[in-house]
Amino acid sequence: MSEITASRVISLVNSFIPQSTRTATSHEDILSDLGIDSLTTINILLAGSTEFRLDLTRLDSTVRIPVSIGDLMELMMTLHA
């Protein structure tokens, strides 16, 4: 089972960042500042579902929308199967 760590989530997020923007370096980085919109966030979660074995069926019960990489990491840890 793959462990969810800040460096692995940052690496995953960086793979979705448009080339024209800066790269993510911290769990405090704001997703929208990195050029990541809601659709891209969903795509990151889909990619994370494979890499980290996330149970996306539990996504419906999540009320909080991730704003930062730290929020995204928390969400992934909540969804970790």
Domains of the chain: 6-79 (1.10.1200)
Model confidence band, residue 19 (pLDDT cutoffs 50, 70, 90): confident
Mean pLDDT to the nearest integer, 55-79:
89
* Partners of 29 in beta bridges: none
pLDDT value of residue 74: 94
**Are the beta carbons of 10 and 51 closer than 8 angstroms?**
no
Handedness of CA 31, 32, 37, 40 (dihedral sign): negative
Residue 68, φ and ψ in degrees, nearest 5: -120, 170
The whole-number pLDDT of residue 1 equals 54
22-65 pLDDT tens trace:
788 999 999 999 989 999 999 999 999 999 999 998 888 776 88
Beta strands in the chain (DSSP E): none
